[in-house]
Structure 1
Amino acid sequence: MNFEEIYKNVPKPHIPEKLPVELSAALYDCEIIKLISKANNAMGAYRGFLLNTINPMLLIAPLMSQEAVLSSKLEGTHATIEDFINYDAGNEVAVSKDEMQEIMNYRTALFYALDKMSTISDESEEGRHKLPLSVRLIKEMHKILLDNVRGKTKSPGEFKSEQNYIGNSNKITFTPLPPELTLDYMANLEKYIHHEEVDLLVQAALLHCQFEMIHPFKDGNGRIGRLLIPLFLYYRDMLPVPTFYMSAYFEKDRNMYLEKLSAVSKDNDYAAWIKYFLEGVIEQAEINTMKAKKMLGMYNDFKELCISEMSSKYAIMLLDEIFKKPMFKAKQVQDIIPGSKGTLYNMLDEFVEKGILRKDEKVRNTTYYCPAILTLL
């Protein structure tokens, strides 16, 4: 099929309503009312677990890596969580380095935003974020996302200056907002982040949907749009850390995801999108809570072993690093764990002996890994 045939029936650019949209019809839907209640209960249970955990980021770190893989997979990468963990440990993988770097960049962008938005803890500023979730921060995240990967030539950190399209090599299915309207609509999106909507989860649904309709960048829109969900829930204090991810739900049936977004652009059917999104929130909140509880149980069991049976006072410090990086080489933790090389290798041997870690057969540059964490992922 030639270029002219592909572009012959290109849809006109979609110009969505600005936010907030009229929701009265959707909110009279009994199913949506029930889903709002159920989704908030599921998120409440997840939030409660995170609040009652001493270091929730430690337990969620492996799930953040999983999210980075799944979100990138939606954009055409083929890497698995096993590939990523091996690559992160410095091992060779069959997938291209460019794909692996895209996943690394996704995780880096999330941590960057978290650092910029982290709450100030001194008494005079208690509960305030350093920086708001804003257009400026979104652009900075986008710049990180496309750093030194296949989208590096597509204006990292800058809004599109030419019309972009969504589709495949045979057909264009959607034409996003024209570039000349992008700045105005992104300013409206930023304002909506601080709007008092009827429900925060409904607001998260509309925020993600609107970002996809705008498609403000030349590349990387899907990944930034998915990152906005946990960052928004964190910024609006629904979650104590930005560790709630929807990529697994969207990836499970990508056609359904696109169909529900299409219902908004074609028929202004926000109710169908909100239902779909809330069902995903319920599913992912329950899965996240289950996995995080298993992580906590695993961590506590290992910690008890460290206290009662390990000889080094730095054993728990090494355990924490294992949860952040469940596959690694000794040199990757050498500067983090105090003491000599000998102390570290003795600890690693003890961790292998107790079954917390296993190692490959290499005499030099040995790879250590935690099978229990990898199995859960």
Structure 2
Amino acid sequence: MRYKPPFTLTSEILNLVAEISQQVGELNASQLNASSQLRKQNRIKTITGTLAIEGNTLTEEQVTAIVEGKPVLGSMRELAEVKGAIAAYDALPTFTPSAIDDLLTAHGLMLSDIFANAGEFRSKGVGIHKGGVVHHVTPPAHQVSGLMADLIQWLKQTKDHPLIASCVFHYEFEFIHPFADGNGRMGRLWQTLILSKWQPIFINIPVESLVHQHQEAYYLAIRNSTAQTDCSPFIRYMLQMILDAIEDSTSRQFENAGISAGINAGLKLSPLDHAILELIKADRYITNAMLAEQTGKALSTIERRIKKLKEHLFLKRVGAKKTGHWEVLS
């Protein structure tokens, strides 16, 4: 293999890979796949999230209406972006991650109604700007085809775990910036494709929605990886988003299936919710960080479940944030 992207596998990264693999194994794929409503909700979250990162202002409700063929008021560009994303994600199972032609076809589907050169690599240099500051100058246009060929060949031959390979590909794709427009959404689309070839359930897990919720950290991870000439910061970030997305999908799976307790409050508690409540009963002064450590979950996952438990009146905070305590309500 003549090309190998630079990255370092830390213990944190390896632990995330192990935890994600375990969570995927426990996720009830048959139930998630069988629920057409849940699949539809997740696809809408995916499309809304990946486009919102790029500045699209259409809401989940508006994207839902477009998916259902209903008229929606909005700019022609934003409406076309949604329709292009729907087409690209619908076609995702037919693509092969290591096929350049499929990558170009997907870009054509994603942007054909808004970009004249959709489906073609860029022919000019591009600089990535934010707030008037240049954060990244992309490789010259004449190098793009060769760089993408090297990256695709690496992806085809690598023995790295698909979780690692998908993150590395995503970062390297953004670094090369092979298209004049749509690179962010295409990088996220292709990572989902790579993951889905490892575990088909990833077609129905809206990782892009979590990335949107932590958008600034997404760009920071890219910048830090570029500065270090090592994409480990981006790998860590994306693995955490993947883990959080699986946790969210698991929780919504319980809510949709009507499993466990919480019927009167309208929330069906997941095993993690039960664990959180039991730990709080044992120590009402326990912190989110302590809950994360004792459950082995990410802090962001704990924070989201705490918010849900409070919204559905299973839990309330008494007193100030730093000096107060938790009270379990049911």
The reply to whether TM is greater than 0.5 is yes
Q: CA deviation at 1:95?
A: 2.4
Q: 2:236 is aligned with what amino acid?
A: K
Aligned to 2:81: 102
* 2:196 is the counterpart of 1:234: yes
CA offsets 1:159-217 (integer angstroms, 9 cap, x no match)? 00100121147232211222111111111222222234332211111011011001100
CA deviations 1:70-114 (Å, max 9, x no partner) are: 111111110100122234445454422331221121121111232
**Structure 1 residue 156 and structure 2 residue 118: aligned?**
yes
Name stretches of at least 5 consecutive residues in structure 2 with no aligned partner: 260-330
TM-score by length of 2: 0.71
For 1:42, the equivalent position in structure 2 comes to: 23
Change (3 A) 1:87 1:167: same
CA distance in 2, matches of 1:54, 1:249: 20
Give per-residue Cα distances to partners, 1:115-155, cap 9 Å, x unaligned.
Answer: x24xxxxxxxxxxxxx5641110100111111222xx22x1
1:71 equivalent to 2:50? Answer yes
Q: Does 1:279 align with 2:240?
A: yes
Task: State the identity %.
Answer: 21
Residues 6 and 230 in structure 2, CA contact (< 8 A), matched pair in contact too: no
The answer as to whether partners of 2:39 and 2:204 remain within 8 angstroms in 1 is yes
- Aligned-CA RMSD value: 2.4
Q: Gaps spanning 5+ residues in structure 1: where?
A: 1-17, 118-130, 299-377
Secondary structure of the residue that 1:208 maps to in structure 2? Answer: helix
Distance apart, 1:57 and its partner CA: 5.9
Separation (CA, whole Å) in 2 of partners of 1:62 and 1:216: 31
Equivalent pair of 1:68/1:104 in contact (CA under 8 Å): no
Aligned to 1:310: none
For 1:145, the equivalent position in structure 2 comes to: 110
Structure 1 residues 243 and 53: CA distance shift in structure 2, 3 A: closer
Does structure 1 residue 266 correspond to structure 2 residue 227? yes
Distance change (3 Å), C-alpha of 1:72 and 1:139: same
Aligned residues: 258
| Residue 113 (structure 1) aligned to one of 83, 92, 106 | 92
DSSP 3-state at the match of 2:135: strand
Larger relative CO (CA 8 A, sep 6+): 1 or 2?
Answer: 1
Residues 67 and 245 of structure 1 are in contact (CA less than 8 Å); yes or no, is this contact kept in structure 2? yes
Deviation at 1:265, TM superposition (A): 1.2
Kindly indicate whether the alpha-carbon contact (under 8 Å) linking 1:113 and 1:137 is maintained by their aligned counterparts in 2. Answer: no
Contact 2:121 2:178 in 1 (8 A): yes
Distance 1:241 1:38 in 2: 15
The 8 Å contact of residues 49 and 211 in structure 2, kept in 1 or not, is answered as no
- Residue 96 of structure 2 corresponds to residue 134 of structure 1: no
Q: Does the CA-based 8 Å contact 1:165-1:172 persist in structure 2?
A: yes
CA-to-aligned-CA distance 1:242-300 (integer Å, 9 cap, x gap): 223322222123221111111111112333222212211111111122223434559xx
For the structure 1 residues 57 and 99, does the alpha-carbon distance in structure 2 shift closer, same or farther, using more than 3 Å as the test? same
